[in-house]
C-alpha cells in the first residue's frame, strides 16, 4: 500500500457560541476519516481552530464588558473541553486570531492586490441609525428577493440557497433592535472573482467535488460571478487591512486562511515545512464542511489559494444539517442539544457510533431520531459488539485463567477468523469513500457471526463431565478473542475508547491494519476484564430532549417554551363493542423499502404474532423516516383493517403514528414482544 500524506480540516467553530450536536456531525465525521487514514498507515494531520473574528464577537464582548480577546479565550477553553469529551483527535487546534494568520492574510492580500484582482469601490450599505454602525449581512433579516421566503439573512437564503446583496432584501430589519436600517455609502475593497472564472471552472470540474456539490458551483458560475467584498468598517474585531486605516478584513477572508495558519503553527513546533503540506501537490488537502458554506469553500477559497500559489483542495466534502426527531433543532422543543449536555447524559461513543451509522457521501440532512438512536446503539454496539467482548473475555479470564491458545483451532474457528479478516478489505474501502454506514454494517456482520459461533460452539460444555476438554474450550474462546481484536482494529476510528479497552485487556500495544494478520496465540493472556459499555436504559435517551423549566415565571425571550396543546373537537363517540373489534398489537418491523414511484409510501414486513407469520403493511411515512430507520423498531399496528392495494402492493394493516403541523412520530412500546395486545 502506497503511503499517502493527507492534510484534513473541518469547518472552524465560531467563538461566539457553544458547541452543539450540529457541530459534532462534521467534527465526528472528519475525525473518523482522519483516524481511519492513520489506521491504514497513512500520514493524516487533522487541523482545526476557533473562528474568532467578526462583528458578533465585538458586540458580545461589549455587552458583557470584556475584551474580545477574553471572550474568545473563554470560547476556546469551552470548545476544547467538548471536543476532548467526544474523543476528537486533532493534530493541532488553534485560533484565527494568531500572528501566523495575520501574516498569512497580509501576504495573500498582497499577492491578490499585485495580481490586479483587488479593486476599491464606493458602496451602499445598510446602516443602523440607532446603533450608529453599518450592519453586516448577518445582522439584517428580511424577505428573500429570489423566492420570497421570510426571515432570511442579508447574504443568502436558507430556503432557495440564493446569494444576494443585503440591499436586495425586502422589508429589512436589524436583528439587534428590530429597527429599519437606512442606506449609506462607504468605501470597500473587492476581490474580482470573475478574473479567475476559468480556474474556478476547472476546479469545479475536477474530482475535488461530488456531482451534487458540482451542480451547485456550476449554477453559480453560470449565473455570473460577483465581486466579493473583503473589507468591513469599524467597529470590527479582526485584522486591520494594511494601507487602509479603519478597514478590516471580512471574517470570511481570514477564517479559511486559518487552515494554513494552524498548519504553520504545528510545523513550527515540530520542525516541519509548511510547503510540504500546502505547496506540494502530492499532499491531499481534504476539507469537511456543512452545505451552508459550500460557496465560500468552492469559489472564494480556491481563488485565494490559486493566486497565492498554494495547492488546491484534493476534496471538498459537504454534509447536510442535523435534525432531531425529524425537525430543525429548537430550544423550545428541547432539540437544540449542546455537546456539554449530551456528555452529562450518555457516552460519547454512542453518538459517534450513531453518526457513523447515519452519515453518507452526500449532502442529505442527518436525523437524530431518539428512538432510532437507542435501537441502533443497543442492538449494534452494546448487544452485539460489546456483548461478544464481554461474554468471551469474561469466560476466558474466569474459567480458563485468561490464557489463550490457537493450537487447537478447527475448521469452524479458522472459517470465522478468515471471514473477519476478509471483511476488513471492504471496511477499508468504505472508510476511504466516507461510507461509514457501510463500515458499521460490515463490522456488525462480523459481530453477529461471532456471537452465533460462540453460542453454537458453547465452550462452557467442555468444562464438565467425563468428556471435558478444556483445551477445546480455550480454542473456541481464543477464536472469539481474535475476532474481537479484529473488530477493535476495524472500529477504532469510530469508537476509539472501545478499541483501547480491548487492546489493554489483551495486553497489546495499539493495533492498526498492519497488525491484522498477527493472530492471538499461547503467548497472549486476557486480564482485568471490564465491560466496555453498560446496557443503556431507554429513558436515559429521552433526557437529551427534555425541556428544562424556566428559572422564573417571567421567562426571557430565549427561554424554552412549553409546547402549545392543540385542542380539537373529538370525533363521534363509539360503543365499547365497536372498540373491542379493533385488534391493535405491538409489531416489529423486519424489513422496509421505499415504494417505487411514490415519495410517501414505505413497504414493510411486520411481525405482529399472526399465525401465518409477518404481514405486509404499506405505510405513508417515507417523508419522515428512511427505510433503514424503521428496521427493528417496535410500533403499534391496527391489524384487522380490511386489506387495501396501494401502488400494486397489498397492505394488511396500519402502522399507527402521531402527527401535527411539525411532522410525524411513531409511538413505540419497548418492553413488550411483537403480538402483544394493546388495550
Tell me what pLDDT residue 567 has.
Answer: 56
Kindly state the percentage of the chain with pLDDT values over 70.
95
Q: Has residue 5 got a pLDDT over 80?
A: yes
Q: Has residue 4 got a pLDDT over 70?
A: yes
DSSP state of 299: I
Q: Has residue 377 got a pLDDT over 80?
A: yes
Rg (CA), the chain: 29
Q: Has residue 557 got a pLDDT over 70?
A: no
Q: What is the pLDDT of residues 172-224, one digit of tens each?
A: 999 888 999 999 999 999 999 999 999 999 999 999 999 999 999 999 999 99
Read off the pLDDT of each residue in 375-392 and give the average, rounded to a whole number.
95
Sheet harboring 152-153: ordered strands across? Answer: 152-153, 140-143, 170-174
Domains of the chain: 5-106+250-358 (3.40.50.620), 116-197+212-248 (2.170.220.10), 368-515 (1.10.730.10), 576-665 (2.40.50.140)
Q: What is the pLDDT of residues 242-299, one digit of tens each?
A: 999 999 999 999 999 999 999 999 999 999 999 999 999 999 999 999 999 999 999 9
Q: What is the pLDDT of residues 428-460, one digit of tens each?
A: 999 999 999 999 999 999 999 999 999 999 999
Q: What is the pLDDT of residues 647-667, one digit of tens each?
A: 889 999 999 988 765 667 888
Identify the band that residue 555 occupies on the pLDDT scale cut at 50, 70 and 90. Answer: very low
Tell me what pLDDT residue 282 has.
Answer: 96
Q: Has residue 75 got a pLDDT over 70?
A: yes
DSSP state string for 539-575: HHHHGGGPPPPPSSSS--TTS--PPPP---PPPPP--
Tell me what pLDDT residue 8 has.
Answer: 98
- CA diameter of the chain: 97
Tell me what pLDDT residue 219 has.
Answer: 94
Spatial CA neighbour of 360 closest among 291, 444, 437, 292: 437
DSSP state string for 341-391: HHHHHS-HHHHHHHHHHH--SS---EEE-HHHHHHHIIIIIIIIIIHHHHH
Q: How far apart are CA 370 and CA 232, in angstroms?
A: 43
Instruction: Let me know: does 659 contact 647? Beta carbons within 8 Å.
Output: no
Tell me what pLDDT residue 566 has.
Answer: 58
Q: How far apart are CA 27 and CA 13, in angstroms?
A: 10
The grid cell for 474 is: 480455550
The grid cell for 469 is: 476438554
| Minimum mean pLDDT range among 131-135, 264-268, 465-469, 659-663 | 659-663
Q: How far apart are CA 301 and CA 311, in angstroms?
A: 11
| Minimum mean pLDDT range among 93-102, 236-245, 285-294, 547-556 | 547-556
Identify the band that residue 670 occupies on the pLDDT scale cut at 50, 70 and 90. Answer: low
Q: What is the pLDDT of residues 238-253, one digit of tens each?
A: 999 999 999 999 999 9
Q: What is the pLDDT of residues 154-183, one digit of tens each?
A: 888 888 878 888 999 999 999 888 999 999
Q: How far apart are CA 287 and CA 299, in angstroms?
A: 14
Q: How far apart are CA 282 and CA 288, in angstroms?
A: 19
Instruction: Let me know: does 635 contact 589? Beta carbons within 8 Å.
Output: yes
Amino acid at each position: 500500500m502506497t503511503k499517502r500524506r493527507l492534510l484534513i480540516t473541518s469547518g472552524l467553530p465560531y467563538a461566539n457560541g457553544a458547541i452543539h450536536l450540529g457541530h459534532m456531525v462534521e467534527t465526528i465525521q472528519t475525525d473518523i476519516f482522519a483516524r481511519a487514514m492513520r489506521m491504514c498507515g497513512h500520514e493524516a494531520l487533522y487541523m482545526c481552530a476557533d473562528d474568532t473574528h467578526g462583528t458578533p464577537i465585538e458586540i458580545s464582548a461589549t455587552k458583557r464588558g470584556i475584551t474580545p480577546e477574553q471572550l474568545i479565550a473563554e470560547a476556546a477553553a469551552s470548545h476544547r473541553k467538548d471536543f476532548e469529551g467526544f474523543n476528537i483527535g486533532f493534530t493541532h487546534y488553534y485560533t484565527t486570531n494568531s500572528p501566523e494568520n495575520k501574516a498569512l492574510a497580509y501576504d495573500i492580500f498582497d499577492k491578490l492586490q499585485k495580481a490586479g484582482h483587488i479593486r476599491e469601490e464606493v458602496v451602499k450599505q445598510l446602516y443602523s441609525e440607532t446603533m450608529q454602525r453599518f450592519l453586516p449581512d448577518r445582522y439584517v433579516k428580511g424577505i428573500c428577493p429570489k423566492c420570497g421566503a421570510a426571515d432570511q439573512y442579508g447574504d443568502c437564503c436558507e430556503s432557495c440557497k440564493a446569494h444576494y446583496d443585503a440591499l436586495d432584501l425586502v422589508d429589512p430589519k436589524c436583528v439587534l433592535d428590530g429597527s429599519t436600517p437606512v442606506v449609506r455609502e462607504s468605501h470597500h475593497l473587492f476581490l474580482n472573482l470573475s478574473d479567475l472564472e476559468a480556474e474556478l471552472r476547472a476546479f469545479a470540474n475536477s474530482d475535488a467535488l461530488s456531482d451534487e456539490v458540482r451542480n451547485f458551483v456550476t449554477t453559480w458560475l453560470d449565473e455570473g460571478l460577483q465581486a466579493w467584498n473583503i473589507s468591513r468598517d469599524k467597529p470590527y474585531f479582526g485584522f486591520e487591512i494594511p494601507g487602509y486605516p479603519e478597514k478590516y478584513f471580512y471574517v470570511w477572508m481570514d477564517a479559511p486562511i486559518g487552515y494554513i495558519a494552524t498548519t504553520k503553527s504545528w510545523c513550527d513546533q515540530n520542525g516541519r515545512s509548511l510547503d510540504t503540506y500546502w505547496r506540494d501537490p502530492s499532499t491531499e488537502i481534504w476539507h469537511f464542511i456543512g452545505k451552508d458554506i459550500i460557496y465560500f469553500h468552492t469559489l472564494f477559497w480556491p481563488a485565494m489559494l490559486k493566486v497565492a500559489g498554494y495547492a488546491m483542495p484534493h476534496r471538498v466534502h459537504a454534509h447536510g444539517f442535523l435534525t432531531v426527531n425529524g425537525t430543525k433543532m429548537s430550544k423550545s422543543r428541547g432539540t437544540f442539544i449542546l455537546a456539554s449536555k449530551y456528555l452529562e447524559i450518555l457516552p460519547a461513543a454512542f453518538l459517534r457510533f450513531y453518526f457513523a451509522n447515519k452519515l453518507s457521501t452526500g449532502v442529505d440532512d442527518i436525523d437524530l431520531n431518539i428512538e432510532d438512536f437507542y435501537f441502533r446503539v443497543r442492538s449494534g454496539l452494546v448487544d452485539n459488539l460489546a456483548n461478544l467482548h464481554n461474554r468471551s473475555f469474561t469466560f476466558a479470564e474466569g474459567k480458563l485463567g485468561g490464557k489463550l491458545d490457537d493450537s487447537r483451532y478447527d475448521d469452524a474457528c479458522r472459517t470465522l477468523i478468515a471471514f473477519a479478516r476478509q471483511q476488513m478489505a471492504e471496511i477499508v474501502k468504505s472508510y476511504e469513500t466516507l461510507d461509514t454506514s457501510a463500515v458499521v454494517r460490515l463490522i456488525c456482520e462480523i459481530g453477529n457471526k461471532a456471537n452465533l459461533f460462540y453460542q453454537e460452539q458453547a465452550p462452557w460444555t467442555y468444562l464438565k463431565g467425563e468428556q471435558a476438554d478444556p483445551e477445546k474450550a480455550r480454542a473456541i474462546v481464543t477464536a472469539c478473542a481474535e475476532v474481537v481484536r479484529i473488530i477493535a482494529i476495524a472500529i477504532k476510528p469510530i469508537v476509539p475508547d472501545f478499541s483501547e479497552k480491548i487492546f489493554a485487556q489483551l495486553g497489546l500495544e495499539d493495533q492498526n491494519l498492519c497488525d491484522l494478520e498477527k493472530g492471538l496465540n499461547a503467548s497472549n493472556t486476557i486480564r482485568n476484564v471490564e465491560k466496555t459499555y453498560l446496557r443503556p436504559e431507554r429513558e436515559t435517551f429521552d433526557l437529551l430532549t427534555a425541556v428544562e423549566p424556566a428559572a422564573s415565571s417571567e421567562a426571557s425571550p430565549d427561554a424554552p417554551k412549553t409546547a402549545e396543546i392543540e385542542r380539537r373537537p373529538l370525533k363521534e363517540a363509539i360503543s365499547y363493542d365497536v372498540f373491542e373489534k379493533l385488534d391493535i398489537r405491538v409489531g416489529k418491523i423486519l424489513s422496509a423499502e421505499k415504494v417505487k414511484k411514490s415519495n410517501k409510501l414505505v413497504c414493510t414486513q411486520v411481525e405482529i404474532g399472526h399465525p401465518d407469520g409477518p404481514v405486509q403493511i404499506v405505510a405513508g411515512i417515507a417523508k419522515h423516516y428512511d427505510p433503514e430507520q424503521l428496521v427493528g423498531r417496535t410500533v403499534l399496528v391496527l391489524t384487522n383493517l380490511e386489506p387495501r392495494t396501494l401502488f400494486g402492493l397489498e397492505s394488511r394493516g396500519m402502522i399507527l403514528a402521531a402527527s401535527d403541523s411539525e411532522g410525524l412520530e411513531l409511538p413505540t412500546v419497548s418492553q413488550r414482544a411483537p403480538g402483544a395486545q394493546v388495550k
